[in-house]
């Protein structure tokens, strides 16, 4: 093949990797960089200058003209402001390039237009971006040319986090500290660091760009707001893992090349359940890097789709009636000795340590189910969670038959000694079974499932950042580790104490374990009986951020201050109201200017036909009935449209953010549904040629 892809040559080509630094930096500087990367602290200004020079040289050798501090404000997407590598020309008029250590370390974008939830008023617009040395700089090739991107954190003048990366990094510190305490208790003196790893399975839809551009809803909201179901949906189950169509395959090929160049370990690709839906999964990495990389994946998907005259839809629910898109957050904890704390292992000590870790995760998830639910909420995900497909809105944990059995025995008898063929494991007090890590089955309906050596959090929405859910997971588990370590470090008899603690954690929090069908009504009732929260929407989940329990948790580990939490809650209401507002306005526009006029035209043609035929002497029955039906539905649509307009006007007058958000949820959303319904019926009865924009059929089956 001509354009053969040379994977080894491509991989990481556009990344300023450690090996490139090693090649280009003086030994001592390289050593200092490594030290800061692994142990924290700050690079000296002199060293930063040297690194900046090497970075600039490398970038310019590869065609870069600009650099940018690349950051992740609370809009959920990434932000960048490009600066060219130019300084003022010298006396001879030659261009002088410039990029110093200061440029590398600190940026000062005018921050007033990013969401801050009241943290920063416009007159205090100062925000700072600070170099995140743990995530490598990379070159982005796009329409603007080649740009050196420097991953950064984004903070206010007073040091409050204005982004998603800062709390994530803080939470990784917290869980590192607490997990090391657990390792020490079990005699591990070697491990120096415990890192969160994540792998983000990313679902998405691809549709034809020309068709997408004919729909205002796709342009403005990323999802369809009208649309009758196509004759065929996903009921044949012929798309999942099906043969990838040529056009989509070519997109995937180019996407992989882009990602590999950026050092993103894209690994798995396949068709998903819904027509036109696909998935990409990379190999898991350090959670900070994985979060940055997931942002790059989403960006690259959109960019590459464009090159193929396609549109990539990352919305959680682009089409009603077929599956929506999620992002599974596969989460684990690994020590720098290579040990995965979620791996049951095969020695008794590890087995007990694993059971302690497991019991702590269960405690964390049960205690903070509301926060975990909150961490996976965004506006689009409201259409997905609990809507009979993706995980329900109720948080529960799936352990698999074998582990669940172990837990049950421990809770009931204080010991677990069945299936111990591989040898009885003694804790000194009781016997514990050897855990065979492959014995877990799968349960696709579970929002939080143990899958062998990691947990898979399946609630996260496809367009969301990985940062929020990972930050919450890290923090709640850090707290459970901390509680455990506080107690065990003081224990006279460690073996007894650890046994008691495992039993206590499991007993108190076993209600969070559920292995049945998470989609069923029975589970909704059972969960209510168990007292598990069932929070249906993003704005109902938001208050979880600022409960006393939450403030205590996040302040204890230095993740968020109360002020930061309050600001984030505020942003949620603001974002929600703005998003639904745009959706409602888009519907009004489409119904008023496209759907109703098109239907009226068809109605008139039909009426004229009937008159003509009658005049000619023929008798009509069915056609007249159809005309009446159309007239009724147009009338219904017009009424619903007027009602929606009136509500929109009312919403605009509400000043308080939270009140406005709830008004959108409780009043505007039902009015939008009331407008959609007659329009979707009209789509099914009027002539296809007169329908003003591409239908579900055109979009999902003709890519
Ligand atoms: P599936 O969930 O479909 O079975 P895999 O088990 O292959 O798929 O993994 C899905 C994702 O989980 C991938 O991104 C993979 O890299 C990631 N993953 C695998 N092992 C771990 C781990 N120990 N920690 C974090 N993520 C992991
Ligand atoms: Mg998975």
Nearest residue by C-alpha to atom 6 in ligand 1 = 451
Q: pLDDT at position 428, please?
A: 42
List the one residue out of 51, 83, 81 whose CA is nearest residue 64: 83
Residue 525 has pLDDT above 90, yes or no: yes
Residue 702 has pLDDT above 90, yes or no: no
Q: How far is the CA of 327 from the centre of ligand 2 (A)?
A: 9
Which residues, judged by CB distance below 6 Å to any ligand atom, belong to the binding site of ligand 1?
Answer: 197-199, 201, 281-284, 330, 332, 340, 451, 453-454, 456
Question: Are 151 and 135 within 8 A, CB to CB?
Answer: yes
Q: pLDDT at position 422, please?
A: 38
Atom of ligand 1 nearest to the CA of 343: 23
Question: Are 226 and 676 within 8 A, CB to CB?
Answer: yes
Q: How many CB atoms lie within 10 A of CB 524?
A: 17
Give the CA distances from residue 664 to residues 456, 467, 584, 661, 667, in Å, rounded to whole numbers and listed in that order.
32, 27, 9, 5, 6
Question: Which of these ranges, 109-123, 169-183, 214-228, 618-632, has the smallest mean pLDDT?
Answer: 109-123
Instruction: Classify residue 455 by its DSSP letter.
Output: E
Q: pLDDT at position 559, please?
A: 97
Question: Are 668 and 579 within 8 A, CB to CB?
Answer: no
List the one residue out of 172, 156, 138, 170 whose CA is nearest residue 74: 156
Q: How far is the CA of 501 from the centre of ligand 1 (A)?
A: 30
Question: Which of these ranges, 239-248, 466-475, 576-585, has the smallest mean pLDDT?
Answer: 239-248
Indicate the pTM of the whole model. 0.94
Q: State pLDDT tens for residues 261-314.
A: 999 999 999 998 889 999 999 999 999 999 999 999 999 999 999 999 999 999
E strand residue ranges, 38-87: 64-70, 83-84
CA of 200, nearest ligand number:
1
Question: Are 580 and 669 within 8 A, CB to CB?
Answer: yes
Q: How far is the CA of 281 from the centre of ligand 1 (A)?
A: 8
Tokens of 522: 């029975």
Q: How far is the CA of 449 from the centre of ligand 1 (A)?
A: 12
CA of 268, nearest ligand number:
1
Tokens of 266: 């894209």
* Calpha distance 148→644 (Å, rounded): 47
Instruction: Classify residue 198 by its DSSP letter.
Output: E
Q: State pLDDT tens for residues 334-388.
A: 999 999 999 987 766 668 899 999 999 999 999 999 999 999 999 999 999 977 6
Q: pLDDT at position 620, please?
A: 76
Residue 431 phi, psi (nearest 5)? -105, 145
């Amino acid at each position: 093949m001509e354009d053969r892809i040379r994977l080894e040559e491509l991989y990481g080509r556009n990344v300023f990797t450690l090996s490139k630094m090693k090649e280009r930096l003086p030994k001592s500087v390289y050593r200092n960089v490594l030290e800061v990367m692994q142990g924290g602290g700050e690079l000296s200004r002199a060293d930063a200058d040297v690194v900046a020079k090497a970075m600039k040289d490398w970038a310019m050798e590869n065609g870069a003209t600009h650099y940018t501090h690349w950051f992740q404000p609370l809009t959920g997407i990434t932000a960048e402001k490009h600066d060219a590598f130019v300084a003022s020309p010298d006396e001879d008029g030659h261009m002088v390039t410039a990029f110093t250590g200061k440029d590398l370390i600190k940026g000062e974008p005018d921050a007033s237009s990013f969401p801050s939830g009241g943290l920063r008023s416009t007159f205090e617009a100062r925000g700072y971006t600070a170099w995140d040395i743990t995530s490598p700089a990379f070159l982005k090739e796009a329409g603007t040319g080649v740009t050196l991107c420097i991953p950064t954190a984004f903070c206010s003048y007073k040091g409050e986090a204005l982004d998603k990366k800062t709390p994530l990094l803080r939470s990784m510190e917290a869980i590192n500290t607490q997990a090391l305490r657990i390792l020490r208790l079990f005699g591990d003196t070697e491990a120096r660091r415990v890192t969160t790893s994540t792998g983000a399975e990313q679902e998405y839809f691809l549709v034809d760009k020309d068709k997408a551009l004919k729909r205002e809803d796709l342009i403005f909201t990323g999802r369809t707001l009208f649309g009758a179901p196509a004759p065929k949906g996903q009921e044949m189950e012929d798309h999942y893992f099906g043969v990838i169509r040529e056009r989509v395959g070519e997109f995937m090929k180019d996407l992989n090349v882009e990602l590999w160049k950026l050092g993103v370990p894209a690994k798995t690709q396949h068709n998903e359940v819904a027509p036109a839906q696909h998935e990409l999964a990379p190999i898991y990495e350090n959670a900070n890097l994985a979060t940055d990389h997931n942002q790059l994946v989403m960006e690259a998907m959109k960019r590459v789709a464009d090159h193929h005259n396609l549109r990539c839809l990352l919305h959680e629910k682009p089409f009603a009636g077929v599956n929506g898109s999620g992002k599974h957050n596969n989460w684990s904890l690994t020590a720098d000795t290579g040990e995965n704390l979620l791996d049951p292992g095969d020695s008794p000590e590890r087995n007990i340590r694993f059971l302690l870790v497991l019991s702590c995760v269960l405690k964390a998830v049960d205690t903070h189910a509301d926060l975990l639910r909150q961490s996976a909420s965004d506006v689009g995900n409201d259409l997905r969670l609990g809507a009979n497909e993706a995980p329900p809105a109720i948080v529960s944990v799936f352990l698999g038959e074998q582990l669940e059995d172990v837990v049950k025995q421990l809770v009931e008898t204080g010991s677990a000694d069945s299936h111990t063929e591989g040898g009885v494991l003694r804790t000194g007090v009781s016997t514990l079974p050897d855990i065979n890590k492959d014995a877990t089955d799968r349960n696709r309906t579970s929002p939080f499932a143990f899958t062998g050596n990691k947990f898979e959090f399946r609630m996260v929405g496809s367009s969301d950042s990985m940062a929020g859910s990972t930050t919450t997971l890290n923090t709640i588990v850090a707290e459970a580790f901390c509680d455990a370590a506080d107690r065990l470090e003081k224990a006279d008899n460690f073996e007894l104490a650890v046994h008691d603690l495992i039993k206590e954690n499991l007993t108190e929090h076993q209600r969070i374990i559920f292995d049945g069908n998470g989609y069923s009504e029975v589970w909704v009732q059972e969960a209510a009986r168990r007292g598990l929260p069932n929070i249906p929407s993003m704005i109902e989940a938001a208050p979880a951020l600022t409960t006393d329990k939450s403030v205590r948790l996040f302040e204890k580990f230095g993740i968020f201050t109360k002020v930061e939490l309050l600001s984030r809650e505020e942003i949620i209401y603001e974002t929600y109201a703005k998003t639904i507002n745009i959706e409602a306005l888009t519907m009004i526009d489409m119904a008023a200017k496209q759907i109703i006029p098109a239907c009226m035209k068809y109605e008139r043609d039909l009426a004229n036909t009937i008159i003509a035929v009658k005049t000619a002497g023929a008798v009509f029955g069915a056609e007249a009935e159809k005309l009446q039906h159309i007239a009724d539905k147009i009338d219904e649509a017009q009424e619903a449209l007027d009602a929606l307009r009136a509500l929109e006007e009312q919403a605009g007058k509400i000043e308080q953010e939270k009140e406005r958000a709830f008004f959108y949820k409780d009043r505007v959303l039902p009015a939008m549904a009331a407008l959609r319904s007659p329009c979707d019926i009209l789509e099914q009865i009027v002539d296809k040629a007169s329908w003003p924009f591409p239908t579900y059929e055109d979009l999902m089956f003709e890519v």
